[in-house]
Chain A
Amino acid sequence: MNLKVESITVKLGSSEILKNVTIEAKKGDFIALLGPNGSGKSTLLRTIFGMLKPLKGVVFFDGKQHEMGYLPQESAETNLKAIEVVLLGRTPYLGRIKIPKERDYEVALKSMKEVGIENLANRKFSELSGGEKQKVLLARLFAQEPKILLLDEPTAHLDISSQLEIMSIIKDLSRERIAIVAMHDINLAISFANRIFMIRDGKVLYTGAPKEVITEDSIKEIFGVEVTVRRQGQVYVIPKIRGSKKGRKVHVICGGGSGRDLIYLLNSQGYSISAGVLNALDSDWETMSEIGGEIVDAPPFSQISDEAYQRNIEIIKQADAVVLTNLSIGKGNFKNLLCAKFASENGKLIVVDKTEFKERNFVGEEANKLYSEILKKSIVVKSEEEVLDALRKLLCR
């Protein structure tokens, strides 16, 4: 049993959704189609199923049309009983006037059993939970006795335990079949698929075993996000930044927790954040590690070295804006004030001046003088929220 999709191009309206896509699958394959929304995953499945006709290219499958089972992403809602929904999977086997026979009931019940929902047979579909509904739809698919399973995001909108359950069921029941599953959860794909096709803008860019194709670069290319790929036994992916990475660069000079709220706020707004110089294990350092931003760091509880100072200056040069938080200045982090001075001279400093500087100055007159010079050449705000406004103005210039 083989499936071949040879250089198909599919147009919907005036736009090409699939561009010269070629894939192959054989019995036993569990293939994850990975890609962002709108990349063409659904279109590929629908074309293989035969619902869409390719402009160019062919889909070749050495079996009958009804041996292809397709589960659309569209959520269904009906007051039919679960068994009645499952029986619909038998449609291709019924005659012109569709009356299910003994064997159709048997197959339907058997597939409900396989999916583990024989006890739901007489329940109304509309009264089932999300996971149960999806199992009923899977049973409908298996009642069709397909050799190829085409599933469009079968775990969308489900909680984590149902996601794993549904994927395990599909995995178990696809051993003697070909399963092609569109999804966008990378880790779920790695856990279950033996092959992954990564698709973007209608092109299949990577194909292969999860270990081969899942890399920081491929994920960046396909999804446009920064991730860390860990390889401990199994491959898995950790997102680096929750917000969008496309945001403007903002460097935060902070410490001792003075930057925490601001960092979260900027992150939620999609800014790309760096911070420093921070002592490792400082609470702001932990906040930055959590959101995955770049940190210029110094060893715990030590004075900022010239080398760290220089690295900080380099980052400030590249940043679109710099924010000096309401931090306390002591001998250890005095060089941060010099960094702020440098930023203010470049006209990109915003200062959060919440409390009197005198109260947070543990260095002496030298720092007082420096701080007042910095204030003259920067935008001074009183709260973290005002920083956002100041940033907008600053970045517009």
Chain B
Amino acid sequence: MRILLLIILNALVFLLSLSVGSSSYGFEELWKLIMGEADETARTIVVDYRLPRVLLAMMVGASLSASGCSLQALFRNPLAEPYVLGIASGASFGAITSIVLGLNITGRLLLAFLSAILTAYLVFFIGNTRKFRDQSYAILLAGIAIASFLSGINSLLIYLHSQSLHQVIFWLMGSFSNPQWEEIYFYIPLLIIGLSFLLATSWNLNALLLGDEHTRAVGINVERYRAELIIFTSLLTASAVAVSGVIGFVGIIIPHTVRITMGEEHRKLLPATILLATAFMPVVDIIARVSTTGEIPVGAITAMLGGPFFLYLLVRKGL
């Protein structure tokens, strides 16, 4: 029932995203467009600009919220987010480097993605050493250590190349502006693989909540599943960051909102989380592009919207 409501909500938000902007189109005009009767300007704005933009926003929302939700179960920590594996600073490093080197969008996309994946791999490699008794915990700590190291390097890069400051900062704060179809083509297979894995194994996430020993006791190979989870959440998060920059908070706030209202059973929680995020992210993006004549970074809006809303939920429902 709730899932159905969420799907309807998604459809509405999707249409709204296509119609709202510097020039608005009503549903009637959108219909004309589908039938191929609209004029060239409308087609360009809606199909070449707004459509990829809303798709990207939905994909990024789905990736970040699904990763966050899964990692919160893996680490049994409500504060875990998609970036705990150092992916944000890893991707930022790649993106800043590409901006400094003056690479084009494809170059930036690939460099950010690769350096995010490499960072996640490094964090997992260090944290998963047999030496540590509690490997989940060790991975978290390794993530913090490597992320802060990379942030240092990033700051240095920005300082040394202050002429590209504006571009870098805007990227860092996250945005869906200037959407490219290549980005979507690059992203879609990764998104499908990642989400399918998480959805198909959501049962195991329930077991993880009870602790590693209990998970093993019901016959799940914890080490292997943890590695798989980290691989697939890294793919999702890295591709999201590579296309849109660092959008914070979605990975925490959306899963928690759903958890508070629907409970912790991941076979329901995960799909509902994804659907709420795919509706939430485009709404944020609408606000980003219509509230001023220019563009506000999406990351800033998620944080400003998310914080108070989350507090409201906390106060009303408790944890």
Using a CB–CB distance below 8 Å, which chain A residues touch chain B?
A: 49, 51, 65-66, 69-76, 78-81, 84-85, 88-89, 91-92, 94, 96-99, 124, 137, 140, 144
Contacts and interface: CB of A to CB of B under 8 A. Distances in A.
B264 A70 contact: no
A97 B203 CA distance: 8
B203 A91 contact: yes
23 contacts: A71-B217, A72-B217, A73-B213, A74-B211, A74-B213, A74-B214, A75-B211, A76-B214, A79-B263, A80-B206, A80-B209, A81-B265, A88-B207, A88-B210, A88-B218, A89-B218, A91-B218, A92-B218, A97-B201, A98-B203, A98-B204, A124-B263, A137-B214
B20 interface: no
B272 to A, nearest CB: 15
Contacts, number: 67
A97 B200 contact: yes
A69 B218 CA distance: 8
Nearest to B216: A51
B199 to A, nearest CB: 9
A32 to B, nearest CB: 20
A49 B200 CA distance: 27
Nearest to A91: B218
Contacts of A91: 203, 207, 218-220
A98 B203 CA distance: 6
Q: Report, nearest first, the 7 A-B pairs whose CB atoms are least far apart.
A: A72-B213, A98-B203, A78-B209, A76-B210, A91-B218, A74-B213, A79-B264
B289 interface: no
A80 B211 contact: no
Given A75-B211, A85-B210, A96-B200, 7 more contacts: A69-B217, A72-B211, A76-B214, A80-B265, A84-B265, A92-B219, A97-B201
Nearest to A144: B218
Contacts of A78: 209-210, 264
Nearest to A42: B213
A80 B264 contact: yes
B259 interface: yes
B273 to A, nearest CB: 15
Contacts of A88: 206-207, 210, 214, 218
B243 to A, nearest CB: 29
A180 to B, nearest CB: 14
Contacts of A92: 218-219
Contacts of B220: 91
A70 B217 contact: yes
A92 B220 CA distance: 8
Nearest to A49: B217
Contacts of B203: 91, 94, 98-99
Nearest to B204: A98
A79 B211 CA distance: 13
A65 B219 contact: yes
Contacts of A71: 217
B214 A72 contact: yes
A70 to B, nearest CB: 4
A29 to B, nearest CB: 21
Contacts of B213: 72-74
B175 to A, nearest CB: 35
Contacts of A124: 263
Contact of B211 (A70, A76, A84): A76
B290 to A, nearest CB: 38
B263 A80 contact: yes
Nearest to A87: B206
B217 A79 contact: no
Contacts of B206: 80, 84, 88
A81 B263 contact: yes
